[in-house]
Amino acid sequence: MNSTMKISFHTDAFNTSFKDFQHCVDWAEKNDVHWIECGLIDGVSWIHGLGYQPHVALYEDPLMLRNRMAKQGVAFSQVDAAFPLSGVDGPTYGVPYVLKTLPWAKLAGCERIATTDGLHRPEGLSDEDAMEMMKRQYAQILEVAEAYEITINIEVHGYFTTKPEMLERMLDFVDSDFLRLNFDTGNSFIAGQDPVAFCERFKDKISHVHVKDVSESLAAIARGGQTGIALSHCSVGEGANADNIKRCLEILRDHGFDGHLSIECEGQGGPLLEKSLHWLRGTLKELEIAEER
């Protein structure tokens, strides 16, 4: 079986070590990782301006950044514009955020943008009202995304997206090949779902994967009570979700998925991310999945 996948990582890994985005690119080059995922900032903040935040602001020139990254053999697998679209602030802040990200991503050479819902049931809205509101928002976003030929991924992260029936409806909001799924192994697990069944159900829609484990201790106290993990303090392969991740990779392999596997963990300045990378590379080799570099 000729199966290949690409390894990426989210720069969230360096949030708590207060590194800048360039540090993440340097880490990628050092560890022979050729794709990277980051959050986008719409505006300025002191912590980012002083170099203590590993994400990218939209005021930074995307073409110049793309060229600098290319010199180190690194490109974007996805950028994150995931302001919750399910709440009352979605139309006011979330939609403009994504629309502003689209031309930036095009120039940056990035083909995917992550979006999502909120962690909790939106205050003041029924589930159906929130779903109808999100449908209008995604229709507006996809009209522009199709023009730029950029995929809008719905990430499994919140109150609606961790419920398979709701997520299925969301993925049908717009009849477009540019509306797809960012599957998250950790968020589906912590929400009380079976990540393997989740992956099997949505394998036709998956275009980007967050590979995230969950510590045994967190799983014991929080599984079924949360919908998303801000930052997993567990290297991939060492937690309660490791076997599920491996089985999801088998499903993706057998289905012909050849996209990006983006590692998400609290990197502790690098060591936990390195352990995650080592486990993922070893698992891909075991499953006879070639890493595209």
Amino acid symbol at 184: D
Amino acid symbol at 268: Q
Buried b (16+ CB within 10 A) or exposed e, 219-255: beeebeebbbbeebbbbbbbbbbbebbbbbbebbbee
Read off the pTM.
0.97
Give the domain ranges of the chain. Answer: 4-291
Q: Using the predicted structure, report yes or no on whether residue 126 has a pLDDT greater than 80.
A: yes
Q: Using the predicted structure, report yes or no on whether residue 1 has a pLDDT greater than 60.
A: no
For the chain, counts of helices (H) and of strands (E): 11, 10
Amino acid symbol at 146: E
Summary mean pLDDT of the chain:
97
Contact present, 155 and 81 (Cβ < 8 Å)? no
pLDDT in tens, 76-102: 999 999 999 999 999 999 999 999 999
Name residue 209's beta-bridge partners: 183, 261
Instruction: Please give the pLDDT value at position 232.
Output: 86
CA–CA distance, 137 with 140 (Å, rounded to integer):
5
pLDDT in tens, 134-180: 999 999 999 999 999 999 999 999 999 999 999 999 999 999 999 99
CA–CA distance, 274 with 292 (Å, rounded to integer):
18
Given the candidates 3.20.20.150, 3.40.190.10, 2.40.110.20, 3.40.630.10, the CATH classification of the domain at 4-291 is 3.20.20.150
pLDDT in tens, 237-279: 999 999 999 999 999 999 999 999 999 999 989 999 999 999 9
Instruction: Please give the pLDDT value at position 72.
Output: 98
